[in-house]
Every structure is written in C-alpha cells, then in structure tokens.
Chain A
Amino acid sequence: EDQVTQSPEALRLQEGESSSLNCSYTVSGLRGLFWYRQDPGKGPEFLFTLYSAGEEKEKERLKATLTKKESFLHITAPKPEDSATYLCAVQNYGGSQGNLIFGKGTKLSVKP
C-alpha cells in the first residue's frame, strides 16, 4: 500500500535557525513527489514537484531534495512568515487517475 510519513509532526525554530523536514514514502511507482505549504483555514499552496532521485528544487529559503525513499524540505534562515504546515504527497502511476497520497504534515513555527 502506498504510504507517506512526515516527521516531525511539529517543529519550533528560532528565526534564522535552519532545519529540515522529512517525508518518507513507499509507492509502487513514483510519478512525482509534491510539497505544499498550508496556512490555517486555507487550501494547500503548491511549492515543488520532484520526479526522480537526486533532483533538487529551490524557492527563496526552501530547498527540496529527493531520494528513492524520502524527501527533505530544507529551510535556511527561516523567518516568522515561514510558519505554516508543510504537506508532502506522492503521485503514482496507477491508483486513482493521478490522485495524490498525502502525509499528515509538519507544523512549523518560527519565533522572532
């Protein structure tokens, strides 16, 4: 069964304190791995899609990397506005026509 596990569930950082969020996955055939940011009461905001092991993508203070079993979202020198829940999802080649299978998310709090 396809599965996504995110860790930690919650992470508190001081402003400027870099860290990483983990997304471990098992999937029959990976089509893509997605990262989203979600603010309270809002829909998920698309950040990145990664397709193959070794791939990296960056956006401002965020950098996503992918291996055959996990993905990391590295946050460099975070600011309070980076506080949000970060969701990871995988898409496989079978399943429900491109459906995304989500982890439960990591809630990030950045204190000034």
Chain B
Amino acid sequence: SQTIHQWPATLVQPVGSPLSLECTVEGTSNPNLYWYRQAAGRGLQLLFYSVGIGQISSEVPQNLSASRPQDRQFILSSKKLLLSDSGFYLCASVGGTEAFFGQGTRLTVV
C-alpha cells in the first residue's frame, strides 16, 4: 500500500512569514494528490488537488498556493502567513477508490 510522508510535523511561524510544507508519496505512481486543512469541529476542507506534474486546481480562494514539481511530490506554500492560516494540514493520495493520508502538519501562526 501507499505511504505518505509529510514534514514538518509541527511548525510555529510568525504572521507575515513564508511557508513551505512538503508531501511525498511512496508505493504508487501517477497519484491524484490533495491538500486538506482540518479545523476543530469543522471537518476536512479541500484546499488544492493535482492530477499530474504541474497541474494544480484550487478549491478555495486563500492565501496559500500549491505546486507539484515531481510525480510524487506535492508542496503547499504561502508568501505571507495570516493568523487564519493556523490549522492541521493533511496531504492525501487518491488512486481510484483507495485514499491514504499523511500524518499531518500542525501549523500555528503567531
């Protein structure tokens, strides 16, 4: 089965600083990759998805961007963080009807 690696596990960043979260996938090729944000009591919100290298679709207008430089690498970025960007960020790989998640990054913007 697939393994999804995310890092870092936790991150504390000041308002206005840049962000880069990385996700890599093992055990599959050509996956559809997703970034979700999970807020307490609000479920998982889809932020971006990618069906291939360089192909990014955004679901929610926001302060964040995503890139997919390699088949099994997905990056979430921001040029200037806002307080509202705090949350638990999850990377997922979906192939057909199999869907696996990484262990997440807890981002706190201070």
Q: Which of B13-21, B36-44, B62-70, B71-79 contacts A (4 or more CB under 8 A)?
A: B36-44
CA distance A99 to B47 in the complex (A): 11
0 or 1 for each of A21-47: is its CB under 8 Å from B? (1 = yes): 000000000011010100001111110
Residue B86, interface by CB 8 Å:
no
Given known pairs A102-B43, A105-B43, the reply for A91 and B101 (CB within 8 Å) is no
**Closest Cβ of chain A: how far from B32's Cβ, in Å?**
5
Number of A interface residues in the complex (CB < 8 A): 24
Asked if B43 and A42 sit within 8 Å, CB to CB, the answer is no
Q: How large is the interface on B (under 10, 10 to 19, 20 to 34, 35 or more residues)?
A: 20 to 34
CA distance A104 to B45 in the complex (A): 10
- What is the count of residue pairs linking A and B with beta-carbon distances less than 8 angstroms? 62
CA distance A97 to B50 in the complex (A): 8
0 or 1 for each of A62-101: is its CB under 8 Å from B? (1 = yes): 0000000000000000000000000101010000111110
Q: Which residues of A contact B100 (CB under 8 A)?
A: 46
Asked if A96 and B92 sit within 8 Å, CB to CB, the answer is no
Residue A49, interface by CB 8 Å:
yes
Asked if A98 and B94 sit within 8 Å, CB to CB, the answer is yes
Q: Which residues of A contact B106 (CB under 8 A)?
A: 41
**Closest Cβ of chain A: how far from B40's Cβ, in Å?**
10
Most buried by B among A43, A46, A99, A103: A43
Asked if B46 and A99 sit within 8 Å, CB to CB, the answer is yes
Interface residues of A (CB under 8 A from B): 31-32, 34, 36, 41-46, 49, 51, 87, 89, 91, 96-100, 102-105
Interface residues of B (CB under 8 A from A): 4, 6, 32, 34, 41-44, 46, 49, 51, 57, 59, 90, 92, 94, 96-104, 106
